[in-house]
Structure 1
Amino acid sequence: MSKSHLLKVASLLTAGMLLSSSVLATERLRVAGNFPTDHSVSRAMEVFKEEVESASNGEIRVDLFPAMQLGGATENVDQVRSGSIFAVFTSIAYFTRSVPDYEAVSLPFLFDNRDQAFAVMDGPVGEHLDAKMAELGLVNLGYGELGFRHVTNNLRPITSVEDFEGMRIRLQPNEVHLQTFRALGANPVSMDVSELYSALQQGVLDGQENPYNIIASRRFNEVQEHLSDSGHFYDFINAVANQRRYNALSEEHREIIDDAMQTAMLWQREAATEEEDAWREQLIEGGMVFTPISTELRAELREATLEVAESLKDRVDPDFIELVFQEAEAAL
């Protein structure tokens, strides 16, 4: 074999080893979500991916699995816990069983507007919740908007507290949410969102409650007739990572992840705000009967659910509940 040929072989081997080393050095992060692809949360996942891969010059690759590709919200949370995926974008409701303190920001009629809600979550209240999650081996990377939740049903328009009597309605796995509708006389059922459409279609349930964006993007309007603007809860989404896998990243890569998530969540909050009215109009134009909640009825609903905050003190430190109320009042 000639000397020149040996040099070519050596060069090819070196290039191959460098390429192999580069591939092995690339971080691969699997991130799941349970929102439809056109939802602002799924689009925020794309923003996160673009920011991470650009800032890391390809050293980190983010593989996205939106729209329940890896299962429902409950399954995704379990996957993050085990470390089989790096992170999940989902509602905070799916962490309330492990961190009951989340129920304190889920109380009925707690927030009047989204600016107030985020002023609370971006301050000491959010820091407390992040610390609770860290105790479970989870890292909160950021909070976004799921939005004010509204009731739909196939029984009747909502014009009085009595209209909730006996209503079989789906709720998230959040005890505060369930207690709120029990206080209104309804029969709430905890169910993963992945099962909800068929349950409504088959008449197993009379109704459900979700932000306009979820009602529309999951096409619940196809199996529900009546829509209100009850706005009984304000709901947050959070992006949560496995702590062990997060800490295994280099300091530089963790900073890239943090900055990218901040950019993605701020983008999502703005998109959700801009799209709120359009989602509602889409539902009305699609044939849903829209019955606005009067100021008087809203006051009656608030009064009927006051007991929920008191009962929460059996599960959550009363001092933290008081902090939530104080921060909410200060943010008005």
Structure 2
Amino acid sequence: MFATRKILPRLSALTLGVCLIGSTLAAEAATLRLATDSGTQGSPAGDTLDEWSRLIEEKSGGELEVEVYYQNELGGQQEVFDLLVAGGIDMMLSWPMTAYDKRIGIIYTPYMTLSWDEAIEAYSPGGWVNELLGDVFADIGLKFFGPWPEGFNGVASRGQYALDMESADGLTVRTMTVFPAPQTMQALGYQTAAIDWGEVYTALQTGVVDGEAGNVIYWPYEYFRDTLDYYVHTKHFFMTGILTMNMGSYERLSEAHQQVVSEAAREVMEQQFVDARERDEHYIAKAQEEGMEYFALPEETLEDFARRAREQVWPLMEEELGTEIMDTVRANATPL
């Protein structure tokens, strides 16, 4: 199934960045380049790119044009985020890398929120996570428009699965290549391999990993349902993409065009807040219809996982993110 999906060759991020920066400047921001690191055309992420670009062109009366690049068309996750920071692309729906600033790892804090209502409140405009993220992105030269929530993630695997920490022993799962994704799964008893999203299918096919532990059920269902048999809803992260823009690209726009881009971003973000939970529930049902066995863990098990992750991972995060941020997390996180 996955082999039939169109994956375009990767380009050198440095070479592409130089070319794109030059053409962006030459066009005086009349053409904006919008990309995502995850999501092909026709996927929820791809549809969001299409809608964001459509709104920008419509609201600007055609004064702004948007070129859209989907998953892997400009390289892997780190390469595309590099292009965004460098100004080689202008806008992005990203699952951001922490290489530039470990504080981006706020969004990967394990078991920070334990329910949809709490997560939506924290990540919505004015929410405490939203406010923290805006400051961090500004410090690395990015305009933060807002989150693009997906839901709580889990572990998809083949051959065997784990419903507790003891049975996770011997299972090797792929994690995102960001801190503290590997550390979180290790705290839950798994062995880990940090692998870029574009390499996951090969890693599964060759047996490098037994499963994938970075996503809501949509992704393993859509890309790997011919390979993976089980999905355990560990809910270790509330997964969200980020709608953002290179600050230099943003500031080169006129005030009117800045407003156009910001309003369009807000509209697609608000729509995702409405759609995300229903979409996640839809794909949980759809995956089961297609033969994937789904496990919703009891509340006491999730609380055990949360305690273990908080005990082992949060102190590591404090070393990387700072005491002030983690004090804010502790003050606002779901009580156990």
TM-score above 0.5 = yes
Amino acid at match of 1:114: W
- Residue 261 of structure 1 is aligned with which of 256, 261, 265? 265
The structure whose residues are more often helix, as a share, is 1
1:3-82 aligned at under 5 Å gives the runs 27-33=30-36, 34-82=38-86
- Residue 114 of structure 2 is aligned with which of 97, 112, 115? 112
* d(CA) in 1 for partners of 2:40, 2:117: 25
Cα 1:164–1:115 change in 2 (3 A) is same
Amino acid at match of 2:254: S
* d(CA) in 2 for partners of 1:120, 1:195: 32
Shift of 1:24: 6.3
Contact 1:39 1:213 in 2 (8 A): no
**1:103 aligns to 2:105 (yes or no):** yes
Contact 2:120 2:273 in 1 (8 A): no
Amino acid at match of 1:38: G
Pairs aligned (count): 306
- Residue 217 of structure 2 is aligned with which of 212, 222, 232? 212
The equivalent residue for 2:20 is: none
**1:283 aligns to 2:258 (yes or no):** no
Cα 1:24–1:309 change in 2 (3 A) is closer
Cα 1:26–1:80 change in 2 (3 A) is closer
- Residue 190 of structure 1 is aligned with which of 183, 189, 194? 194
What secondary structure, in the 3-state scheme, does the structure 1 residue paired with 2:47 have? helix
Q: Deviations over 1:72-125 (max 9, x none)?
A: 222210111221211111213x2x232222323422222122332232233343
Shift of 1:304: 2.4
Q: Deviations over 1:249-308 (max 9, x none)?
A: 111111111011000111122222221111112211222122332233223222322221
1:65-214 aligned at under 5 Å gives the runs 65-92=69-96, 94=97, 96-121=98-123, 122=125, 123-209=127-213, 210-214=215-219
The equivalent residue for 2:332 is: 327
Contact 2:150 2:280 in 1 (8 A): no
Cα 1:281–1:125 change in 2 (3 A) is closer
Q: Deviations over 1:195-245 (max 9, x none)?
A: 00111011111111210121223x222111221122121111102211111
The equivalent residue for 1:244 is: 248
Q: TM-score, normalised by structure 1?
A: 0.85
Please, which runs of 5 or more residues in structure 1 have no aligned partner?
1-22
Amino acid at match of 1:307: Q
Contact 2:165 2:188 in 1 (8 A): yes
Shift of 1:26: 7.3
- Residue 309 of structure 1 is aligned with which of 305, 314, 323? 314
* d(CA) in 1 for partners of 2:283, 2:114: 20
Q: Percent of pairs identical after alignment?
A: 23
**1:228 aligns to 2:228 (yes or no):** no
* d(CA) in 2 for partners of 1:131, 1:76: 21
* d(CA) in 2 for partners of 1:125, 1:291: 28
* d(CA) in 1 for partners of 2:290, 2:162: 19
* d(CA) in 2 for partners of 1:302, 1:125: 18
Shift of 1:37: 2.5
Contact 1:120 1:328 in 2 (8 A): no
* d(CA) in 2 for partners of 1:58, 1:310: 50
RMSD: 2.2
Q: TM-score, normalised by structure 2?
A: 0.85
* d(CA) in 2 for partners of 1:288, 1:162: 23
Instruction: Name the structure, 1 or 2, with higher relative contact order (CA <8 Å, separation 6+).
Output: 1
Shift of 1:176: 1.8
Shift of 1:181: 1.3
Larger radius of gyration between Structure 1 and Structure 2: 1
What secondary structure, in the 3-state scheme, does the structure 1 residue paired with 2:273 have? helix
Cα 1:304–1:127 change in 2 (3 A) is closer
Contact 1:105 1:324 in 2 (8 A): no
